[in-house]
Structure 1
Amino acid sequence: MSCNASTIVYSDIDHHTSSFKSLLSGGYYYSNGVPSFTWLQAKQDCEARGMQLAMLDSQSDLDDAVAYMNSETGNNIANDIWVGMKYDMTSTPYVYRWISCDIPTFTTWYPGEPNNQERDPCIRLQRIGFTLRTIGCNQQYDYLCSEWEFNNGTIVKVIDSSTNVNKYTGSTTFSTSLVIADVGESDMGSYSCHVTNSRGVGMGSSIGFTISGRYTDFQADVKKDENFPIVISPQFLYITKYGDSVVLNCSFRGLPEVTSIQWKMIHSRGIFLYNDAASTHYSSGTVMTPDLYIHSVNFQDVGNFTCEATNQVGTTVGDIITVDVIGVQAEISSPTYTVVYGEQVTLDCTIWSKPDLKNVSWEREINGTAVCVDLGNTSKYLGSNKTWHSLLILDADFSDAGKYYCQGETTDLSGRSSETLLDVIGGLPNIMINQTEVRVNASERITLFCEASGLPNVISVEWKKKQNGVFISFTGNIQGGDINSPPLTFSSTTLGDIGEYICTATNLLGNTASSPVLLDVIKNEPMCPCSCEFKRKLDYWASQNTTNYTMAELRVILAPVLEEIKRNLTVDKSTLTKTKLKYISAKDNRSSASQVGAVGIAFMTVVIGGLILIDILSIRRHVETIKSASKPFKF
């Protein structure tokens, strides 16, 4: 069946009445009464009678046809009948058309039809139930013929591309003009151009002419009125399985020509424009290919769609097309999840289904094999039911790691999600200390540092002391050393605190011990008794920081000491004899005496100065010893 949907033109020419009975308003039906015609034979027989196979494109058409089939005039037809509809094999995907090439706007399909369109391309009307069913075209049935007319008080005849091709040409969507050959008196009258689609009939202005001579050809051009586009949506409901593809059909006509096609989805969240360049889920939906292809349909495609056509005059919105989906769609929210050992985790899953869900289950992969999750173990798993599809894993351990799948089932259908990967992390606690050996004076306060961390979280911290080669718990004058304050503090150390200590931390996976810390306590020893004068000097020098004195400052500080030494070394010469004066280097005017005296003075000065210097250095060392003894030991 080659289709060019025809422009319909009416004339004042008498129509063929024959013996056909009037049933519809302006329609005639013929019944053969003997089920011996294939679909093609029935079509040809109707055309030989100047008619066409019946097109039942409205409820009233169907009602009248049923009444006719049940009437005596219709011979009480008891068999199924051929009608003028057939699968258009030139369209992809399948489209059914009336023999006028129009896509049906009204159908009464038998449940589950149409199907097997390539094997059963022809359509019959069932005698029982009066529904349409597909069938092979070589089957034999009764048939109905019809001739459509427009009645405004006079009889007018339809002229289209199949009407007396020797007399009329044109009257198509590609050549809308009507060419009348061999014009005669019977051709006189008023002609008008009618355009029909699913929304109704449009009429052009009338053209009248009379015959005043002999004409071999006469062409009457009909004015083409500019108007909004006409959008044709032949099917208003598409029901498809989840994962299949579907094509929403849309065609259009218009003058001026249509310049753009726009598909929209009407959703509860708003109106969404389809953009072919930004989507792989949809395709086409253009002027060249106006049908909208939805690839791998899912439940997010459920809703209402409209096809809009635009030309220079404006935009026409087509009828609402509803898409519904049957099946089960299960989706995981995240491809991966991570949980700490001992904690809980929720694997999120959402399931859409039609009909309603009967069961929700989870599977996990173990060594490459899918194993059902034991949802009956409520101490381990929660969720996974018809109202909450997600899986809650309590107290996760390393054996829970792996791939998981969410699955939903209806009575007859099921759907499985893509995989999600669960990773369980964790380990023994980590411990950090900053000392391996500590020395402290008895009675002093000291803190042994410890810091613990880990996943799972640390739940306890404890210090242990080594006794008889084994680390054991202990008590004493201590503070801290627990989960709230891991460092261990000795408020006043004793010799009994000497020993090795370790810090231990515990979590759900076990415990970790630090390296040993050696604590050494120094016993306090009393100083040796000394004279008060010596202690005064020690106290004095202990208060002096000799390390930073310059030589000039030392001379000032040591001036009293040097003066006292000088007095002690001075001799009263008035009480000495001349011989003793010589021994003490008293003044002697002799030149030899002067030379010897000078040498002696120099020698004595060097000796005395050396003694003083030695004394100073000795005192300094003693002062430093005292200072270090009076301060705590540093490590």
Structure 2
Amino acid sequence: MVCTVSANPVHTSVYWQKDVNGVATNINLSQTSKYSGSTTTSPSLTVLNAVIADQGYYTCNAQSSVGTGTSSQTFLGVSGSTPSVSLTRTSFTGNYGDTITLGCTVSANPAANSVYWQKVSGSTTSTVDMSNSRYTGSSVSTPSLTINNLNSNDAGNYMCLAANSVGTGQSIQGPLTVIGDVPVVTIRQSTYSTNIWNTITLACVVSANPAHTAVYWTRQINNGNTETLNPASFSKYSGSAVQSPSLTINNVDISDEGKYICHATNVVGTGQSSETFLDVIGYAPTSIAISPSSISVNEDQAITANCTVQGSPTISYTWFKGNSTTQFSGGYLLQIPSSKRTDAGTYQCRASNTYGNANATVSVEVKYIPDVTITQPSQGSVGQAITIQCSYVSNPGATNVIWSKGNQGITVDGNKYVGGSLSNPSLTITNLAASDQGSYRCSAVNSVGQGDSSSVTLSVDTSGK
């Protein structure tokens, strides 16, 4: 914008003003990349790289010692507009994994100096990061955007934007739809039921685009955790494969009961079915038996009995003795490490589960050497008869009773000595003599061994002789 100054005295400064909303605003000449001139020797103002914002009314001002002179207003008009940007299609569709180009055309005067793309997902708008190798284009020479290896995250609304010195223009939003998703996995029944030891198949159907590349099953175990089933390493299972996604469980037992989920994976991700519950039907304990069927031990030997039964779910075992309702022991084994005679009797094994119980009994015999008791006799007199009391208990029954005096055995002859038999073990000594005085002991014998009483001392009063 040309300005000439005539001044006397000579002007000392020149400056320009622009009318901004009715207010004269000084031009900032420190912006050397934008303005030049406006000096005493070159008062005209040059506006570099004019843009729409530069349009308006300008005045040239010169100042001397007398005052400031101002030119009339001159109007600067700037021609040109923001770029016109349009998409080649109103919407775009691509398959997962494919390459797609979102076409964009730009018409601009002045020429566009940059092109970029934005993606709108919900309420979020983000600029496409062209440093990502999946994207190409989005330049002044090639404004269209090419996306390689499409995935579900690429879906959304896209805008093409171009900028020039006037401003920025943008296209309408063009939705991009990506065809393909995680597999759709369906289990045909919400509940399966089977008897224990049977084989059952949990049916699973997979629909996937892109095609699924793996199938696996998970099961929720008792503590709430989830385990992944592996048919390849466990012959109990079969199936669970891309071509046969259903799961077959062989020889079902109670531990197989629980919640199952079928999973299928493709390049998009992993889809899973809803839960299905496998109900395993068990049965009450049956075919109960105790081994050995009868037990006979010598005292201090161990007693061991094994209770076996069929049934499911898990069996619990309780042992009772005789008619007692108090638990004697638990577990399938009855064990008494060192038996006593009081351990003899009948023992009952009770096997129980949630479906019922079963009982079996075993008879236990504890053999022991005779337990012999002798009673201290009172003092006898010469010529009298005296009886030394003896009794015993024995299992099995005693086969002989033996008396001894000191270290010598006594022969019961029915005259001097009477008794000393199984039915009458006490010993009667007739016609006492001083020689009968001494230490006596009663013994009983059975198949286990010989039991001896303690020793007693017989005193004979010889004063009346």
Specify the TM-score bucket, using the shorter chain as the normaliser.
Answer: 0.3 to 0.5
TM-score, structure 2 as length reference: 0.36
Instruction: Give 1 or 2: higher strand fraction.
Output: 2
TM-score, structure 1 as length reference: 0.28
Instruction: Give 1 or 2: higher helix fraction.
Output: 1
